[in-house]
């Protein structure tokens, strides 16, 4: 042993002593040597540690415990809990109330034992002498035979290694795959529960039926597949392409073994692990030194549509709709009752059988993520591919992709609209179905009376179903109307002053389908109280100026104080809305159902004559602009808090765009519309205003532009085109303002001595790799921040790119912000030139800037 290594071990030993005085550390376990349960073996570099860990025996009255031999990270660990990466005896714990022991017995096998019980960890057949067990810095626990010459390091002397027996975790260097000759597989299997390491339901393995792809099983049922490997990434994990510079993945198939091999390019700096979690998700974690914690880098399946066969056969999964599953065109649920009850596993079958001849045709489905398990035919042309599918009765669909002809001879699974790299799928249908589809489609685009056509075409094939549907809808509408009427009589003109919001606005959960829990936000069925105008006048002291707390985009905001001392914010909308009264009430009630911790809560409203007033929760810290742009208040928001604000706004916006039923585009996101509660948590306000003002399409042209210059994306400001990507643009601007503490509208001298706005200024510095100089000086030295500001600046620049299609979606923004190592794309030149020389007053006053009569040629709605 070299002296260097010796010193290292002494050091580690001292560290161990200081952290846990009773434990003792071994270096190598030699044959006959015994390690007890308070001793451990630590790898040479101190990365990993091997020892016993234990869990209570759940229903035992004595203080007996279940002991397991395990390997965990020595330092990369939460303060008191081990992150266990390997278990030697996962389904055979040693149960004892005292200690248990590890040794290498006379045969050369590693065993653990306690009194009468002995459990072998290895099974080496021939008796072997002179063996030692060592824990390596890779996390591999290896058993080797010493050679006569004293060397231990040659591979041939290795008798056994724990990397060949992975449990629920894979580290770089662990194979996942199988041996075609011996049938041995290397797979990950989840734990049964957080305190039971025995093999659980979920496992990750290489799909033996298909080439080069991962499969996650739920018991014996496939739960998820990675899609095929193309040398850079798996079909369904395109984001892997981002991390190529950090990890290398290789598929090795050499006639006897098929496996994937992961390597970390700079292994000294990054600790990473893949875990088959008890939730059925395969997760990758990376250790973040600066925050001393494990960060989840990605996981799969991410969403229900990723789950293998989630919608059953011949159905399409759409993550944007509830319910997610819908039969393909020309198909119907195999079992209508199961299907409507949300059990989609039975899938869909053809409404009418194929003719199996020239009477069949193909329905093109654009931009799809192709179904699983195609057959590949060696046909070059699209026409050959089509006629081949037409000629074979069992063929259900074809696609021509990368010069390959793909056909499906059995049911189609996991069809969905692509998020990335979509392809066209051609679905085979009998000519009658194609006619029905074309007719309903033509009528849809020509006339507005589309529901009647639906009912008609359904009526042809499914008279009973149609009847049930129509009846059902009528009853539903009737009930709905009733309940609205009831609500009106109940709620009309309540007295705001004596209202108690703390007891009366608790969300009421009903078992009706109206109450839908959607991923990250909850939509509650709340009843929105309507108040009398006179009671609002008294709460705000007749809208006196002393009570005015702000001037939002759609009217002034006042503070109101109720009899019980409760404070509310009262927004008096300017009388511009073109909606009818009923419409406005319905709309407000809908908006009130959007509840998310990063949205300001709408508590009630008042609609009386010309007056349209909304009552919101009161935010103690007012709006973000009053803090970040004010030298006296800036210190309230130091780096961590600003990150918190950024993340909160991103979450709120994602909810509006993606998870809320209404799919709201904010259209006027800016610092003065971000309010802060007493804990300085951000909440977006004025969301849903565009809808309340009668414009509720999600992607459209508009001839009335609401928004604030400087925050408006170029396509919106100049052409009136808005989409979720225009909000992303505004988010990017806001991000830059939060980081720099400067208004976008301020002018900055730029490097080429012309002047520019904040975006141009940031872009200049970014290109010169001086972006860290942009950070608000009040925040101090950025090297002390827990997360690098560079990432935030880069994400902001991605959001303000000129072309909407280049900008990320909010879910991508959140993914980029939350993963420590994601390789972000390089931003293209932003659309800043537009903001040059802009009128300062339009932005800083916060009054919406309208361009009248921007002419657009748009077909009537």
Ligand X SMILES: *[C@@H]1O[C@H](CO)[C@@H](O)[C@H](O)[C@H]1NC(C)=O
For ligand X, which stretch binds (CB under 6 A), given 107-115, 337-345, 593-601, 604-612? Answer: 337-345
**With contact defined as beta carbons under 8 Å apart, do 666 and 686 qualify?**
yes
**Distance of closest approach, residue 136 Cβ to ligand X, in angstroms:** 18
Assign residue 548 a region: left if phi > 0, alpha if psi is -120 to 50, beta otherwise? beta
DSSP string, 628-688: HT-TTTGGGS-HHHHHHHHHHHHHHHHIIIIISTT----S---GGGEEE-TT--EEE-STT
Q: How far apart are CA 392 and CA 273, in angstroms?
A: 47
* Three-state secondary structure string covering 616-634: EECCCCCEHHHHHCCCCCH
- The helices-and-strands tally (H runs, E runs) of the chain is 18, 50
99 binds ligand X (CB under 6 A): yes
Which residue among 8, 15, 36, 137 contacts ligand X (CB under 6 A)? 36
Q: How far is the CB of 731 from ligand X (least distance, A)?
A: 18
Residue 276 and residue 202 in contact, taking contact as beta carbons nearer than 8 Å: yes
Among 2, 3, 21, 81, which residue interacts with ligand X (rule: CB under 6 A)?
81
Q: Which is nearer to ligand X, 343 or 380 (CB)?
A: 343
Q: What is the DSSP letter of 418?
A: -
Q: Which of residues 338-377 bind ligand X (CB under 6 A)?
A: 338, 343, 345-346, 367
Site for ligand X in 422-441 (CB under 6 A): 422
Considering only 97, 118, 211, 269, the residue that binds ligand X (CB under 6 A) is 97
Cα maximum dimension of the chain: 100
The Cα–Cα gap between 701 and 35 comes to 74
Active centre residues (catalytic): 668
| 220/781 with CB nearer ligand X | 220
Quick check: 513 binds ligand X (CB under 6 A)? no
Residue nearest to ligand X (CB): 346
The site string for ligand X over 212-241 (x = CB under 6 A, - otherwise) reads: ------xx---x------------------
| Nearest CB to ligand X, comparing residues 52 and 530 | 52
- Is 825 a binder of ligand X (CB under 6 A)? no
As measured in angstroms, the least distance from the Cβ of 784 to ligand X is 25
Rounded Cα distance, 357 and 545, in Å = 79
d(CA 557, CA 569): 7
**Per CB under 6 A, does 255 bind ligand X?**
yes
Using the rule CB under 6 A, give the single segment among 3-11, 78-86, 325-333, 716-724 that binds ligand X. Answer: 78-86
- Should residue 80 be labelled a site residue for ligand X when binding is judged by CB under 6 A? yes
Q: Which is nearer to ligand X, 27 or 776 (CB)?
A: 27
Residues 6+ apart with CB under 8 A from 754: none
Only segment of 106-114, 253-261, 697-705, 825-833 that touches ligand X (CB under 6 A): 253-261
CB of 40 to ligand X, least distance (A): 11
Contact code string over 42-61 relative to ligand X, x by CB under 6 A = -----------------x--
Residue 257 or 299: the one with the smaller Cβ distance to ligand X is 257
| Closest to ligand X by CB, 81 or 153 | 81
Where is 602: in which H helix or E strand? strand 602-608
Can you tell me which of 77, 92, 146, 842 binds ligand X, judged by CB under 6 A?
146
Interstrand relation of 521-523 and 517-518 (parallel, antiparallel or unpaired): antiparallel
* Binding region for ligand X (CB under 6 A) out of 73-81, 243-251, 520-528, 825-833: 73-81
33 vs 473, beta carbon nearer ligand X: 33
Q: Should residue 130 be labelled a site residue for ligand X when binding is judged by CB under 6 A? A: yes
- Residue 258 Cβ, how far from ligand X at the closest point, in Å? 9
For position 182 contacting ligand X by CB under 6 A, the verdict is no
**Judged by CB under 6 A, does residue 250 bind ligand X?**
no
CB 739 within 8 A of CB 789: yes
CB of 201 to ligand X, least distance (A): 6
Candidate ranges 34-42, 376-384, 554-562, 724-732; the one touching ligand X (CB under 6 A) = 34-42
Nearest to 623 by CA among 568, 567, 682, 571: 682
Map the footprint of ligand X across residues 183-212, applying CB under 6 A: 194
Question: Per-residue x/- mask for ligand X, residues 671 to 710, rule CB under 6 A?
Answer: ----------------------------------------
Does position 806 interact with ligand X (CB under 6 A)? The reply is: no
**Residues contacting 589, CB < 8 A, separation 6+:** 528
Q: At closest approach, how far in Å is the CB of 243 from ligand X?
A: 21
* Burial class of residue 493 (count of CB atoms within 10 Å of its CB; 0-12, 13-18, 19+): middle
- Which one of the spans 37-45, 233-241, 719-727, 832-840 is the region binding ligand X (CB under 6 A)? 37-45
Closest by CA position to 300, among listed 253, 250, 347, 233: 233
Nearer to ligand X, 336 or 377 (CB): 336
Which residues partner with 296 through β-bridges?
Answer: 285
Report the nearest approach of ligand X to the CB of residue 279 (Å): 7
351 vs 430: CA distance, rounded Å: 10
Q: Does 257 bind ligand X (CB under 6 A)?
A: yes
Q: Toward ligand X, which CB reaches closer, 412 or 570?
A: 412
DSSP assignments along 776-789, one per residue: -GGG--GGGSSS-H
Calculate ∠ Cα 506-510-513, nearest 5°.
130
Name the 3-class secondary structure at 583.
helix
Query: Looking at beta carbons only, is 236 or 849 nearer to ligand X?
Result: 236
691 vs 725, which CB is nearer to ligand X?
725
> Which of 25, 26, 27, 39 touches ligand X (CB under 6 A)?
39
Work out whether 38 is an interface residue with ligand X (CB under 6 A): yes
Q: Nearest distance from residue 772's CB to ligand X, in Å?
A: 33
Distances (CA, A) of 506 to 493, 497, 524, 525, 692: 20, 18, 9, 10, 24
One of 207, 299, 419, 487 touching ligand X (CB under 6 A): 419
Question: Cβ closer to ligand X: 302 or 443?
Answer: 302
Peptide bond into 323 cis (omega under 30): yes
Q: How far apart are CA 284 and CA 395, in angstroms?
A: 38
Beta carbon of residue 36, minimum distance to ligand X (angstroms, whole number): 4
Encode 276-288: b = buried (16+ Cβ within 10 Å), e = exposed: bbbebbbbbbbbb
Q: How many residues bind ligand X (CB under 6 A)?
A: 39
- Count CB neighbours of 428 within 10 A: 26
Where does this chain touch ligand X (CB under 6 A) — which range of 75-83, 513-521, 683-691, 762-770?
75-83
Q: Which residues of 72-105 are buried (b: 16+ CB within 10 A; e: fewer)?
A: bbbebbeeeeebbbbbbbbeebbbbeeebbbbbb
The angle formed by the CA atoms of residues 54, 192 and 292, to the nearest 5 degrees, is: 60
State the distance between the two ends of the chain, measured CA to CA, in whole angstroms: 83
Does 256 participate in binding ligand X (rule CB under 6 A)?
yes
3-class SS of residue 376: strand
Cα 583 to Cα 688, 692, 860, distances in angstroms: 14, 9, 20
CB closer to ligand X out of 448 and 805? 805
Q: Select the span of 143-151, 205-213, 292-300, 508-516 touching ligand X (CB under 6 A).
A: 143-151
Among 4, 32, 116, 150, binds ligand X (CB under 6 A): 150
- 299 scored as a contact of ligand X (CB under 6 A): no
Residues of the shown chain interacting with ligand X in the complex, contacts defined by CB under 6 A: 24, 36-39, 59, 62-63, 78-81, 97, 99, 129-130, 146, 148, 150, 194, 218-219, 223, 254-257, 280, 307, 335, 338, 343, 345-346, 367, 417-419, 422
């Amino acid at each position: 042993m070299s002296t260097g290594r010796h010193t290292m071990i002494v050091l580690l030993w001292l560290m161990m002593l200081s952290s846990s005085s009773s434990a003792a550390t071994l270096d190598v376990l030699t044959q006959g040597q015994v390690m007890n349960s308070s001793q451990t073996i630590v790898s040479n570099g101190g990365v990993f540690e091997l020892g016993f860990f234990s869990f209570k025996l759940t229903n035992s009255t004595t203080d007996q415990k279940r002991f397991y031999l395990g390997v965990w990270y020595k330092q990369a660990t939460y303060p008191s809990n081990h992150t266990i990466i390997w278990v030697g005896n996962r389904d055979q714990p040693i149960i004892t109330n005292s200690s248990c022991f590890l040794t290498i017995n006379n045969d050369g096998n590693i065993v653990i034992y306690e009194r009468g019980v002995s459990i072998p960890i290895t099974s080496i057949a021939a008796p072997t002498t002179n063996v030692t067990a060592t824990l390596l810095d890779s996390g591999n626990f290896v058993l080797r035979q010493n050679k006569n010459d004293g060397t231990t390091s040659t591979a041939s002397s290795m008798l056994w290694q724990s990397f060949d027996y992975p449990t629920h975790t894979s580290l770089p260097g662990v194979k996942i795959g199988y041996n075609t000759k011996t049938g041995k597989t290397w797979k990950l299997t989840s734990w049964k529960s957080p305190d039971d390491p025995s093999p659980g339901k979920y496992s990750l393995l290489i799909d033996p039926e298909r080439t080069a792809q991962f499969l996650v099983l739920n018991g014996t049922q496939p739960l998820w597949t990675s899609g095929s490997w193309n040398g850079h990434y798996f079909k369904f994990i395109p984001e892997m392409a981002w991390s190529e510079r950090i990890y290398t993945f290789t598929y090795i198939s050499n006639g006897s073994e098929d496996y994937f091999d992961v390597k970390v390019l700079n292994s000294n700096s990054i600790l990473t692990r893949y875990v088959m979690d008890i939730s059925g998700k395969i997760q990758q974690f990376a250790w973040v030194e600066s925050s001393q914690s494990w960060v989840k880098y990605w996981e799969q399946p991410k969403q229900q549509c990723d789950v293998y066969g989630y919608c059953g056969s011949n159905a399409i999964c759409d993550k944007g709709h509830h319910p997610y599953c819908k039969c393909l065109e020309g198909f119907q649920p195999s079992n209508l009752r199961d299907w409507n009850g949300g059990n989609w596993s039975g899938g869909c079958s053809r409404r009418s059988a194929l003719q199996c001849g020239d009477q069949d045709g193909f329905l093109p489905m654009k931009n799809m993520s192709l179904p699983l398990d195609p057959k590949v035919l060696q046909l070059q042309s699209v026409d050959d591919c089509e006629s081949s599918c037409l000629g074979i009765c069992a063929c259900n669909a074809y696609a021509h992709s990368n010069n390959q002809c793909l056909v499906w001879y059995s049911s189609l699974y996991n069809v969905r609209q692509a998020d990335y790299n979509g392809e066209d799928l051609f679905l085979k249908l009998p000519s009658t179905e194609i006619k029905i589809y074309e007719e309903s489609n033509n009528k849809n685009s020509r006339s507005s009376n589309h529901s009647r056509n639906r009912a008609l075409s359904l009526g042809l094939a499914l008279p009973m179903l149609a009847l049930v549907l129509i009846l059902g809808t009528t009853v539903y509408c009737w009930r709905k109307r009733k309940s609205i009427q009831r609500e009106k009589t109940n709620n009309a003109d309540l007295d705001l002053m004596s209202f108690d919001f703390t007891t009366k606005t608790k969300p009421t959960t009903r078992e009706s389908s109206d109450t839908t829990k959607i991923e990250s936000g909850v939509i509650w069925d709340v009843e929105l109280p309507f108040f009398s105008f006179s009671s609002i006048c008294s709460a705000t002291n007749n809208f006196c100026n002393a009570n005015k707390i702000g001037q939002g985009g759609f009217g002034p905001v006042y503070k109101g104080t109720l009899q019980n001392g409760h404070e509310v914010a009262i927004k008096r909308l300017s009388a511009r809305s073109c909606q009818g009264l009923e419409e406005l009430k319905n709309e407000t009630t809908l908006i009130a159902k959007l509840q998310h911790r990063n949205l300001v809560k709408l508590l009630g409203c008042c609609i009386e004559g010309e007056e349209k007033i909304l009552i919101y929760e009161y935010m103690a810290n007012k709006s973000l602009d009053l803090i970040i742009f004010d030298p006296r208040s800036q210190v309230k928001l130091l780096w961590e808090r600003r990150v918190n604000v950024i993340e909160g706004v991103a979450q709120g916006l994602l909810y509006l765009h993606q998870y809320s039923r209404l799919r709201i585009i904010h259209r006027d996101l800016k610092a003065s519309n971000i309010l802060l509660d007493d804990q300085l948590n951000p909440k977006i306000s004025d969301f849903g205003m565009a809808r309340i003002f009668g414009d509720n399409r999600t992607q459209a042209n508009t001839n009335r532009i609401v928004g604030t210059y400087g925050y408006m994306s170029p396509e919106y400001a100049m052409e009136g085109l808005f989409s979720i990507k225009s909000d992303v643009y505004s988010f990017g601007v806001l991000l830059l303002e939060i980081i720099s503490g400067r208004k976008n509208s301020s002018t900055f001298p730029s490097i080429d001595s012309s002047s520019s706005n904040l975006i141009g200024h940031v872009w200049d510095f970014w290109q010169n790799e001086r972006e860290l100089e942009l950070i608000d000086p009040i925040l101090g030295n950025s090297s002390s921040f827990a997360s690098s500001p560079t990432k935030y600046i880069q994400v902001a620049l991605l959001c303000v790119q000129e072309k909407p299609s280049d900008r990320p979606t909010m879910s991508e923004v959140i993914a980029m912000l939350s993963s420590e190592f994601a390789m972000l794309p390089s931003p293209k030149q932003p659309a800043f030139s537009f903001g040059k020389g802009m009128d300062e007053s339009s932005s800083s006053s916060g009054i919406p800037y309208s361009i009248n009569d921007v002419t657009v040629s748009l077909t009537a709605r």
